[in-house]
């Protein structure tokens, strides 16, 4: 009989962080559906516990040794090399914190939900836990398991609580789910191929670090094919052109909380996977496909920005803006250097906070006015000044205003990419100009102008509705003024995880003409 591993108090930090929303979900399951206020309070308390634990992990992470910390490894299916392996480093810990920030705020963004409240919060907590699990998993099988868990609640929540504006919620839910499942199918094929190749020595494993350590077992041809499968799988998730069309429709059809999580962290699984699994494990394949990825990324940036200019629905403006901004992350991935990789993870965090704030404010506008059509709005700052502040903070962060976290992360990306991909970087920078145009125009048309009497009955956001504004507004400016709190940790993760060494090897090999 195999002895169970010794478990320390710190190694239980991540399991408790993951289980807090699930424990709240189980409590809600046994409550009567009429106890709506109690249900909301329990959901909020469960996410508060998870947020506090993730913040504790973030503040107590040791930058100097770096590497995976708070680790827990329990054999699950030893014969197949599957382990319940959890841990975080400087790459995944910011994503864990981001998930809990958005998850906590999404509870309050949904505070006025009155339709099937019990089922809504049960599914929301499962969704948050599933996303969280992908960022703390150190085993590829566990990573994929959590990713698949995410798809189920999203489909149900869009179908039941979604919007019925430009597209029907049924269409949005089906399109979103099909794209995610097609992407996961490609990812599954690549995962199985990688598992078989890594186990050629008779020691099967799904552990990320062991998969990377066995690169001598992967031929260049294998790496190119396997990385291509990863591009489709993770590229669909991060909405890279041409796999992007599900994303804006998914945002538009989803309830506010799902839009926040979808844009804030679900997409980031794609970027995180390309770095953690793609580059770290398959560097030769990454080097081969990098120029093609960069080209698709530039198309994503410019094409989606142009499309955003023509949108009349607020959710579609932010939806296409999200596709455009994720193009910056993909450019950074294609640059294959430590500076760009640091910027990529930083940008995912920054965009997640900004997009979640944007969608929460849009959700409140729709809830109070029953429209997202820009032409129907105008002058809302007169009636809802606090909401206007939140909308403007999100807008300024989106266009990369200095002092916001988005500015410094975009700057880091282009500093890393300019010497490697100069043409792509310059074209990508041009996307910032288009972002400024559609963001400033949207802010002007929605918030400013003469007071419109038909909106005088509106009430400003207050009470629980202020939580997303307070949380995200603070993070946007705090991380923008003190960027090393975020980027310093990410840089330590790039260095200590071995990713920097892999990137250096790839760079030298490219210079030598080996690839």
Nearest alpha-carbon partner for 70 in 83, 58, 52, 82: 58
Contacts of 375 (CB under 8 A, 6+ apart): 312, 445
Domain-located, residue 420: yes
Q: How many CB atoms lie within 10 A of CB 34?
A: 10
pLDDT tens-digit readout, 439-454: 999 999 999 988 888 8
- Residue 73, H or E segment: strand 69-77
Give the distance from CA 48 to its chain's centroid: 20
pLDDT for the residue numbered 515: 42
Whether residue 283 contacts residue 187, with contact meaning beta carbons closer than 8 Å, is answered with: no
Q: Give start and end residues of each alpha helix (H) in 448-483.
A: 467-481
Nearest alpha-carbon partner for 273 in 235, 225, 220, 222: 235
Q: Inter-axis angle of helices 220-237 and 169-198, to 10 degrees? A: 160
Q: What is the pTM of this model?
A: 0.91
Nearest alpha-carbon partner for 301 in 334, 330, 274, 272: 330
pLDDT for the residue numbered 206: 87
The parent domain of residue 397 ranges over: 11-508
Q: Any idea what the Cα angle at residue 317 is, between residues 314 and 320, rounded to 5°?
A: 145
pLDDT for the residue numbered 500: 65
pLDDT for the residue numbered 1: 39
Q: What sign results for the dihedral spanned by CA atoms 119, 22, 354, 449?
A: positive
End-to-end CA distance of the chain: 47
Domain-located, residue 6: no
pLDDT for the residue numbered 511: 40
Domain-located, residue 30: yes
**Bridge partner list, 75:** 83
Q: What sign results for the dihedral spanned by CA atoms 22, 26, 29, 31?
A: negative
Q: What sign results for the dihedral spanned by CA atoms 303, 305, 310, 314?
A: positive
Domain-located, residue 5: no
Furthest-apart CA atoms within the chain: distance in Å: 76
3-class DSSP state of 458: coil
Domain-located, residue 475: yes
Whether residue 237 contacts residue 166, with contact meaning beta carbons closer than 8 Å, is answered with: no
Nearest alpha-carbon partner for 163 in 44, 316, 311, 309: 316
As a whole number of angstroms, the distance between CA 341 and CA 480 comes to: 18
Whether residue 227 contacts residue 289, with contact meaning beta carbons closer than 8 Å, is answered with: yes
For the chain, the domain total comes to 1
3-class DSSP state of 303: helix
pLDDT tens-digit readout, 64-109: 887 888 988 888 888 888 889 999 988 899 999 999 999 999 999 8
Nearest alpha-carbon partner for 141 in 86, 218, 217: 86
Domain-located, residue 3: no
- Residue 327 structure tokens: 């193009």
Provide φ and ψ at 6, rounded to 5°: -70, 130
Mean pLDDT of all residues belonging to the chain: 86
Whether residue 50 contacts residue 21, with contact meaning beta carbons closer than 8 Å, is answered with: yes
Domain-located, residue 90: yes
Q: Give the chain's residues under pLDDT 50.
A: 1-6, 511-515
Residue with tokens 């909380």: 257
Domain-located, residue 4: no
pLDDT for the residue numbered 171: 77
């Amino acid at each position: 009989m195999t002895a169970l591993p010794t478990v320390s108090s710190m190694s239980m930090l991540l399991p408790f962080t993951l289980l807090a929303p699930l424990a709240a979900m189980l409590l809600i399951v046994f409550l009567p559906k009429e106890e709506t206020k109690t249900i909301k309070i329990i959901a909020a308390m469960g996410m508060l516990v998870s947020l506090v634990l993730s913040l504790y992990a973030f503040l107590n992470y040791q930058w100097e040794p770096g590497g995976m910390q708070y680790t827990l490894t329990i054999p699950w299916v030893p014969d197949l090399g599957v382990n319940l392996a959890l841990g975080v480093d400087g790459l995944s810990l910011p994503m864990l914190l981001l998930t809990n920030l958005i998850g906590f705020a999404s509870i309050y963004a949904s505070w006025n939900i009155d339709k099937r409240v019990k089922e809504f919060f049960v599914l929301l907590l499962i969704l948050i836990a599933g996303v969280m699990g992908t960022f703390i998993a150190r085993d590829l099988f566990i990573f994929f398991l959590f990713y698949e868990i995410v798809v189920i609640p999203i489909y149900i929540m869009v179908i039941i609580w979604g919007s019925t504006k430009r597209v029907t919620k049924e269409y949005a839910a089906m399109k979103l789910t099909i794209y995610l499942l097609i992407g996961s199918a490609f990812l599954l094929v690549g995962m199985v191929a990688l598992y078989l190749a890594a186990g050629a020595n008779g020691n099967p494993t799904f552990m990320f670090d062991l998969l990377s350590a066995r690169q001598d077992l992967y031929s260049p041809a294998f790496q190119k094919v396997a990385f291509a499968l990863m591009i489709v799988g993770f590229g669909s998730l991060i909405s890279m052109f041409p796999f992007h069309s599900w994303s804006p429709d998914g945002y538009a059809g989803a309830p506010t909380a799902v839009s926040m999580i979808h844009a804030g962290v679900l997409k980031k699984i794609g970027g995180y996977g390309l770095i953690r699994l793609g580059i770290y494990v398959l560097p030769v394949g990454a080097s081969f496909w990098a120029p093609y990825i960069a080209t698709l990324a530039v198309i994503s940036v410019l094409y989606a920005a142009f499309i955003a200019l023509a949108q009349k629905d607020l959710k579609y403006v932010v939806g296409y803006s999200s596709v455009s901004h994720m193009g910056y992350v993909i450019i950074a991935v294609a640059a294959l250097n430590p500076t760009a990789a640091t910027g990529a993870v930083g940008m995912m965090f920054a965009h997640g906070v900004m997009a979640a704030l944007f969608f929460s404010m849009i959700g409140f506008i729709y809830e109070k006015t029953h429209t997202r059509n820009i032409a129907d709005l105008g002058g809302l700052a007169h009636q809802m000044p606090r909401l206007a502040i939140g909308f403007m903070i999100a807008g300024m962060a989106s266009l990369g205003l200095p002092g916001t976290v988005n500015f410094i992360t975009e700057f880091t990306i282009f500093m890393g990419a300019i010497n490697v991909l100069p043409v792509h970087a310059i074209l990508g920078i041009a996307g910032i100009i288009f972002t400024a145009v559609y963001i400033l125009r949207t802010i002007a048309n929605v918030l400013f102008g003469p007071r419109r009497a038909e909106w005088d009955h509106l009430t400003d956001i207050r009470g629980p509705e202020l939580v997303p504004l307070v949380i995200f507004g603070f993070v946007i400016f705090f991380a923008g003024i003190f960027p090393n709190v975020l980027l310093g940790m990410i840089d330590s993760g790039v260095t200590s995880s071995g990713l920097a060494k892999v990137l250096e090897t790839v760079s030298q090999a490219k210079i030598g003409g080996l690839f």
